[in-house]
Amino acid sequence: MQYWLMKSEPDCFSIDDLKACPNSTDMWDGVRNYQARNMMRDEMKKGDQVLFYHSNAKPPHIAGIATIASKQAYPDPTQFDPKSQYFDDKSTKDRPRWFLVDVKYKKKFKNPIPLDQVKANPKLKNMKLVQKGSRLSIQPVTSKEWDEVLAMTN
């Protein structure tokens, strides 16, 4: 099993929004970055654990935990929808360009971890999240980093 961090702007889609979805599960649509796509398509497995990160929040923070709920990645339907902001006219159903996974709510931290605290923790200095210029919306997390993050919620 692997660990991940996935970013979302809470004004757009928060961990509470995920919880409120049917079966607390939703498609992680709208990813339009190849590195992030590749991780979803090639590496994510059902049951993988996810840190749900709220970007563009005040302050930005790790909000809770979700899990990967689809067996594997599948084509993101929004790329075929001309009305969607995520529409991609270069993508075809035969050769879809963008993939997504289903994500299921697991828990919301009683004490969310602000980005400042992640930065201040020397054990987390190698996390992609705190590295300069790291904008990827999906990032791998090591098991040590995972354990350390969870320890900070106590």
Interface residues with DNA (CB under 7 A)? Answer: 7, 9, 32-35, 55-57, 59-60, 115-116, 119, 132-137
Q: Rg (Cα) of the chain, in Å, rounded?
A: 15
Alpha helices (runs of H) in 92-142, residue ranges in sequence order: 115-120
Question: Tokens at residue 76, please?
Answer: 């993101």
Which pairing describes strands 49-54 and 3-8: parallel, antiparallel, or unpaired?
Answer: parallel
Please state the closest distance from residue 65 (CB atom) to DNA, in A.
Answer: 18
The nearer residue to DNA, 45 or 119, going by C-beta atoms, is 119
Please state the closest distance from residue 140 (CB atom) to DNA, in A.
Answer: 14
The nearer residue to DNA, 95 or 154, going by C-beta atoms, is 95
Please state the closest distance from residue 23 (CB atom) to DNA, in A.
Answer: 26
103: enclosing H helix or E strand:
strand 102-114
Count Cα atoms within 13 angstroms, Cβ side, for 99.
19
The nearer residue to DNA, 23 or 95, going by C-beta atoms, is 95
Distance of alpha carbon 3 from alpha carbon 53, whole angstroms: 13
Please state the closest distance from residue 22 (CB atom) to DNA, in A.
Answer: 26
The nearer residue to DNA, 71 or 125, going by C-beta atoms, is 125
